[in-house]
Each structure stands twice: as structure tokens, then as C-alpha cells.
Amino acid sequence: MRQMKTAVRYYSRGGNTRKLAEAIGKAVGAEAKTTDAPVTEYVDILFLGSAVYATGVDDHIKTFIDGLDPQKIGKVVNFSTAALLPSTYSQVQKLLAEKKIELSEKEFHCRGQFAFLHRGKPDAEDIQNCVEFAKGMVK
């Protein structure tokens, strides 16, 4: 049986999403890279991390998705952080649908620290939950 190939890409301004990306990378055996690094080989699962800034995903995520080759992506698994909104799922889903790239119905989202809101988030429990989520996605 062929081993599942995974990749982790993320964009993070404040470091919240980076924490999740690095935890996912360790859990699935893939280096967490920023969205500046394109996906150059086929992957079964691309874990894509983003955050909500104001009310939308950052332009870095939009540019990254626009540059994806649908032939190189089995499916995308969304993970995100935000201080207020519930997740980036619907925005990422719309962008991926335009590229005809499948988005898993499952996602991981947690609060991220912003100014005085949600101090210390994501915390150790959030990170552990994220690791368990990622491991479950590659089983």
C-alpha cells in the first residue's frame, strides 16, 4: 500500500496559525511551510492554514490558492485561527471551488490571540486537539 503524501502550507501574521501548522507538520511528517512555497509534487492531502483578518482571508491565501495546480492536489484540509469569526472555511471553500479542488468537510479551527482578546491562544490544549485532528485526517 502506498504511503499517503501530505503537505502543510500556511499564512500567519501574528504566529497563531503558524503554531498550528508546525504541530500538524510534526503529526503528519511533513514540513510546515508558508504559502510562499508552492506545492510542486502531487499530495493526497494539503493542510492549508489561514486566519481571519478583519472579515476575510489574507491575500496571501488567495494568491496561493490561485496558483495551485488541481492535478497535484488530492484534497485540501482547512485549519484556521480567528479572534472573532468562526473559521475561514467558507471563504477557502469558494476559492478552491473556482479551481475545482476538493475541500474536506472536516476542518480544525480555534481562537487566536489578538490584542487583548483570547490571550495565550492557541494554547497547549488547542495544539493537542489540532494534532489529534491531523492524525485522524491521514488515517
Convert the pLDDT of each residue in 15-61 to its tens digit.
999 999 999 999 999 999 999 999 999 999 999 999 877 777 899 99
- What is the model's pLDDT at position 1? 59
Residues 6 or more apart in contact with residue 63 via CB below 8 angstroms: 35
Query: What integer is the mean pLDDT of 51-73?
Result: 90
- What is the model's pLDDT at position 18? 96
Fold of 6-137: Rossmann fold (3.40.50)
- What is the model's pLDDT at position 114? 67
- What is the model's pLDDT at position 117? 64
Helix (H, G, I), strand (E, B) or coil at 11: coil
Nearest Cα to 108, choosing from 129, 93, 91? 129
Kindly provide the b/e burial profile for residues 19-48, where b requires at least 16 CB atoms within 10 angstroms of the residue's own CB.
Answer: bbbbbbbebbebebeebeeebeeebebbbb
Beta strands 43-53 and 73-82, pairing class: parallel
Nearest Cα to 75, choosing from 32, 38, 44? 44
Nearest Cα to 75, choosing from 89, 96, 57, 53? 96
Kindly report whether the peptide bond that precedes residue 122 is cis, defined as omega within 30 degrees of 0: yes
**Structural contact between residues 131 and 24, judged by C-beta atoms closer than 8 angstroms:** yes
